[in-house]
Amino acid sequence: MNADDYETLPTDNVGTHMVAGAIAGVMEHCVMYPLDSVKTRMQSLATPSSDGVSETLIKMVRQEGILRPIRGMGAMVLGAGPAHALYFSSYEFLKERLRDMVPSPKYNTLCYGVSGCISTLLHDGVMNPAEVIKQRMQMLNSPYRSVLSCFINIYRSEGARAFYRSYTTQLTMNVPFQSIHFMVYEFAQTVTNKDRQYNPTAHMVSGALAGAIAAAITTPLDVCKTLLNTQQNTNAQGLIQAMKLIYQLKGPAGYFRGMRARIMYQMPSTAICWSTYEFFKYLLGNAAQDFTRIVAPTTKVLAEDKFIEQELKGAEDELGSQTHFEKINFRSRDSGLPRELPAMSGAGLYGSISFNTMHKADYRQKESILDIAHT
């Protein structure tokens, strides 16, 4: 498969994008979930800021059990699948449409950024409730026993609005994050994968680089989002109030709490996400192309006795008696009328096939009639 084929594999196939995106999203969040739990703990204002990534993880396991770092993963499985399905399918669709609209390829990077921004709106609309439940279960001394109990408790005590309290902050963080992410990824692809073919190493390197840069730049907004989602020792209701509380309690350094854990989480996460997505994009798109080659489009042909007999007779007069012709009539069992036949040539699949016979045969089975007449 050449570069052009690979680039256009799933362009018009939304189902391919959605399936590949959903699998990539679930893989990304589940594989790196323990580090995400560590990041949440380090960003929380209720935990000491002196502990590093490894110290925080070891303390969680020793004090709260070996399964503590993966509590709340079920919320990610339920949220990441549909969120990433919308995310990647809308991104691919918008990217192609915008690239067709701009006058020059030099604007492609801008197209990637705009596509990423719009896709983020759909992604976060689905993902935000899952993020709230996840971080409530990740926080220190979490009272929730399961994803379902956490959802019910939040809904009863704080209402449906609690699931979208951090939505504007999430968008404020994710719009620049995803714009930077997609632009860096597409730029890295021009360096590591100039032919734009399926290249797992290039996809992983580009994804990791894009995730690390975007994560570092947007860490202050991620700290604010964590504060709004967990509501631990605070009652912040918006981005501005969250920023003021962080500054009052932790100073300027508070905006960068957990940045190392965030980068360590995002680098492999985006590498896994992009490599998984590109793999299934290649796999599903290639399978669709193979299926299209095998199943040819059909057209309707109506076999009429008089017309066929006249044509055969005329051809026989021109070519002589040594030439053999074949007439096939299909009649439906119910009406006896000529049946509409799918026209499909096997020559492209198996080569040209011809038969020369020297007999006449009539074959009747039940109410169907198949007449084969040879001259």
* Residues 287 and 141 both lie in one domain: yes
The amino acid at residue 130 is: A
* Residues 170 and 307 both lie in one domain: no
* Residues 353 and 228 both lie in one domain: no
Q: How far apart are CA 332 and CA 345, in angstroms?
A: 22
* Residues 286 and 332 both lie in one domain: no
At residue 42, the pLDDT reads 86
Domain around 335: 300-374
At residue 17, the pLDDT reads 87
At residue 205, the pLDDT reads 94
Q: Are the beta carbons of 275 and 240 closer than 8 angstroms?
A: no
At residue 342, the pLDDT reads 46
* Residues 11 and 51 both lie in one domain: yes
At residue 306, the pLDDT reads 53
Phi, psi torsion values for 328, nearest 5 degrees:
-125, 125
Which of 294, 315, 337 delimits the end of a domain? 294
Q: Are the beta carbons of 267 and 216 closer than 8 angstroms?
A: no
Phi, psi torsion values for 44, nearest 5 degrees:
-65, 140
Domains of the chain: total: 2
Walk along the chain (375 residues) and give the pLDDT tens digit of each residue.
444 444 444 445 788 888 888 998 898 888 889 989 988 888 887 776 667 888 888 988 998 889 889 999 999 999 999 999 999 899 989 988 998 898 888 888 888 888 988 998 889 999 999 999 998 998 888 888 899 999 999 999 999 999 998 888 888 888 888 889 888 998 999 999 888 888 889 999 999 999 999 999 999 999 888 888 887 767 777 888 888 888 988 889 889 988 988 999 899 999 998 888 888 888 887 665 555 555 544 444 444 455 556 665 666 566 555 555 554 554 444 444 444 444 444 444 344 444 444 444 444 444 444 444 443
* Residues 347 and 212 both lie in one domain: no
* Residues 283 and 355 both lie in one domain: no
* Residues 159 and 242 both lie in one domain: yes
* Residues 170 and 34 both lie in one domain: yes
* Residues 273 and 309 both lie in one domain: no
Q: 3-state class of 289 per DSSP?
A: helix
Alpha carbon separation from 332 to 335, 349, 370 (Å, rounded): 6, 29, 10
Q: How far apart are CA 264 and CA 215, in angstroms?
A: 9
Q: How far apart are CA 297 and CA 287, in angstroms?
A: 17
* Residues 209 and 335 both lie in one domain: no
Q: How far apart are CA 19 and CA 84, in angstroms?
A: 9
At residue 83, the pLDDT reads 93
At residue 257, the pLDDT reads 87
327 torsion bin: left (phi>0), alpha (psi -120 to 50), beta (else): beta
Q: How far apart are CA 224 and CA 301, in angstroms?
A: 67
Which of 253, 272, 294 delimits the end of a domain? 294
Q: How far apart are CA 130 and CA 154, in angstroms?
A: 12
* Residues 142 and 246 both lie in one domain: yes
Residue 102 belongs to a domain with what CATH number?
A: 1.50.40.10
Which of 259, 294, 329 delimits the end of a domain? 294
At residue 203, the pLDDT reads 92
